[in-house]
Amino acid sequence: MKIVPDTSVIVDGRITNIVQEEEFRGSEVIVPEAVVSELEYQANRGRETGFNGLEELKNLQDLHKSDAITLTFVGRRPTLEEISLSRGGEIDAMIRGTAKDHDAVLVTSDRVQSEVGKAQGLDVVFIKQEILEYEELAIAKYFDKNTMSIHLKENVVPMAKKGKPGNIELVKIRKRPLKHAQIQAMAREIVERAKSDFKSFIEIELEGATVIQFREYRISIARPPFSDGFEITAVRPVARVSLEDYKLPDKLMARLRDTAKGILISGSPGAGKSTFAQAVADFYSNTLKSIVKTMESPRDLQVGDEITQYAPIERDMQKTADILLLVRPDYTIYDELRKTKDFRIFADMRLAGVGMIGVVHATRPIDAIQRIIGRVELGVIPSVVDTTIFIDEGKVKAIYDIKLTVKVPTGMIEADLSRPVIEVRDFETGELVNEIYTYGEQTIVMDVGPQIVADKSPVQKIAAREIEREFKKKIPGATIKVDVKSDKRANVWVEEKHIPKIIGKKGRTIDELERIIGISIGVEPLESQKIDDQIEVPVEMVGNYVVLNFGKDSVGIGFDIIVNNEYLFTATVGKKGSIKIKKDIELADIIINALKKNLPVSARLRME
């Protein structure tokens, strides 16, 4: 019997088994050069299916050499244009042509190829996808009940991350490095099994990279040229939890049940964001009896069968969103938001009335909101996101409520500075944590929780930065000292040689700067600035604060704090003779980093 296998049945890895069955034993296997070219093209692009297909052709050669079959290669090589049009059926047409010319049986596992071949009068054997009984993958031997992920690379000792979010350790799990052939064999098994397991699928196949969801495992296979060596990374959820396990406040449970429609779940990698998102999905689906869908690339959330998981249609999540808007789910989990397009799709679906839960990488609770700024119109943000939940070490560490109001931002005084302000409040205490608003052309995210005792309002600090920036445009590289006296007046010190340039002919330049910044500016020579000698300040860590100790004699006196000879901020010494700074703000981070590097932290009497 003469048979012509097409690309699909060779990539499946089943043609060698078929030709050894009694019906096909001793067959003349005719392989079109079009098949070889397509497999070569895929392999050159680093795709596992291409390598698997070439491996199957080598197996056919072994059968040919043992006289089990006769193997010949016929036909012409397709052009590059024909290969690139393979999705349109050009290669399949050439394969059918070979079967017709040689009066051979076409063997395929592609239903479309089978139907077209029959329509053209060919003798066709259609091999249905074989659903194999589930068996563990070879990589499963590297997992135990505490393993979150394994990291296998050629010529490297296998490694694994073990533990639970917040307590993860990277450990060696074998003594000897893996060889290239071992990694390659495991990769081939994963790809072949994914094609025959009804709960598994190939998510992404690109040049040098393949991502597969094999049941509970999310597996990434990398090979040159994408990576510098053959590598397999497999991730598996350690535990599946419910919202009850998080012991959330009743107030938050009521919020999730009744009013929350735009939720961002944030945290750093490995913090437990996806695990919490799965718990939320199950809560909405099982407890609230809602229709829940997911949008994932790749699909790796471990959710119940009643929740449908969607991937990007034709690699475009916007098309997936268009379908979902027709389906109209009650809630959609978007895992995860990274690019501007993701945030805009999230916003469009939310504004269309779909309850949205997004998963976002963030290292601080406020970062989840900051990642939206500039991607979604500022005034629309509270309509898109009403609740943010920050996860750290597998626990809910912060819950924020987001609302839009019109007010004078904290620290500003004059009523004409009233503007739309997004208030970010601690959900449990109601305490105002951050304010987001526009000031000129800038979008300001201002910390307004417990503050250091400072004699400069937020608007004065912003004005000082703006003045320094505008002056440096006029005199790049010059030394500039700024002291904002009030919301209407500031003094600036520059080297005397630069003053004529700053003032300009008939005062035009300084007038322009005052118009841009919006306050009156006095310019003086830097040499006349009165600066007392700097004094070194003892620094200590007390609880959640960085404390600068000045002593009781300095109570009520204002100081400029200097780090590594650079001005940092101005503050007034409190009743206990110290200035306290919360550790979770940027000023504290700068001081802590300076101490680690043995850089000086000093102070001078503030400018009057």
Residue 494: which H helix or E strand, with range?
strand 489-494
Alpha helices by DSSP H, listed for 307-457, are 317-327, 340-351, 367-370, 381-384
Q: What is the CA radius of gyration of the chain?
A: 33
Cβ 486 vs Cβ 513: under 8 Å: no
Q: Is pLDDT at 49 greater than 90 in this prediction? A: no
**Which helix or strand (DSSP H or E) is residue 282 part of?**
helix 273-282
User: Domain 535-605 falls in which CATH fold?
Assistant: Immunoglobulin-like (2.60.40)
Are the C-beta atoms of residues 17 and 9 closer than 8 Å to each other?
A: no
The answer to which of 58-67, 99-108, 412-421, 445-454 has the lowest mean pLDDT is 445-454
% helix / strand / coil in the chain, to the nearest 5?
Answer: 35, 30, 35
- Alpha carbons within 13 A on the beta-carbon side of 428: 9
Q: What is the pTM of this model?
A: 0.58
| Chain length of the chain | 608
* Sign of the Cα pseudo-torsion (510, 515, 520, 521, in order): negative
The predicted pLDDT at position 30 comes to 94
Kindly report, residue by residue over 529-584, the tens digit of the pLDDT: 444 467 888 898 888 888 998 887 777 777 888 888 777 888 888 878 888 888 87
Choose the weakest-confidence range: 229-233, 342-346, 403-407, 464-468: 464-468
Task: Name the pairing type of β-strands 70-74 and 28-32.
Answer: parallel
C-alpha 197/C-alpha 216 separation (Å) is 12
pLDDT tens by residue, 473-530: 888 877 788 877 766 778 888 888 888 888 888 888 888 888 887 788 888 887 654 4
Class of domain 458-528: alpha beta
CB 295 within 8 A of CB 335: yes
Record: fold of 138-235: Beta-Lactamase (3.30.450)
Neighbour count for residue 422 (Cβ, 10 Å): 21
Residue 163 phi/psi, 5-degree rounding, is 120, -155
| Side chain identity, residue 310 | Y
Rounded to 10 degrees, the C-alpha dihedral 300/306/312/317 comes to: -110
- The SS3 assignment for 109 reads coil
**Tokens of residue 353, six digits:** 């009335």
Q: How many CB atoms lie within 10 A of CB 536?
A: 10
| Whether 321 contacts 311, CB under 8 Å | no
Paired sense of beta strands 262-267 and 387-392, if any = parallel
> How remote is the C-alpha of 591 from its chain's centroid?
30
For the chain, report the end-to-end CA distance as a whole number of angstroms: 101
The domain segmentation of the chain, as residue ranges, is 2-126, 138-235, 243-447, 458-528, 535-605
Please, which residues bridge with residue 526 across strands? none
**CATH class of the domain defined by 2-126:** alpha beta
For the beta carbon of residue 240, count every other beta carbon within 10 angstroms. Answer: 14
Fold: same for 2-126 and 243-447: yes
- Per-residue confidence at 450, pLDDT binned at 50, 70, 90? very low
**What homologous superfamily does CATH list for 243-447?**
P-loop containing nucleotide triphosphate hydrolases (3.40.50.300)
| 111-119 vs 90-101: helix crossing angle, rounded to 10 | 50
- In the DSSP assignment, the letter for residue 261 is -
pLDDT band at 419 (very low <50, low <70, confident <90, very high): confident
Cβ-Cβ contacts under 8 Å for 498 (sequence gap 6 or more):
475, 478
- E-assigned strands of 165-236? 167-172, 200-206, 209-214, 217-222, 231-235
Question: Which pLDDT score is estimated for 129?
Answer: 65
Q: What are the phi and psi torsion angles at 463 (to 5°)?
A: -60, -40
Render pLDDT for 349-386 as a digit per residue (tens, 0 to 9).
999 999 999 999 988 889 899 889 888 888 899 999 99
Q: Are 447 and 585 in contact (CB under 8 A)?
A: yes
Is there a contact between 188 and 48 (Cβ–Cβ < 8 Å)? yes
Segment of 268-277, 329-338, 589-598 carrying the highest mean pLDDT: 329-338
Amino acid at 574: G
Q: Are 14 and 130 in contact (CB under 8 A)?
A: yes
User: 402 is written with which tokens?
Assistant: 């987001």
- Cβ atoms 211, 204 nearer than 8 A: yes
pLDDT tens digits, residue range 58-75?
999 999 999 889 999 998
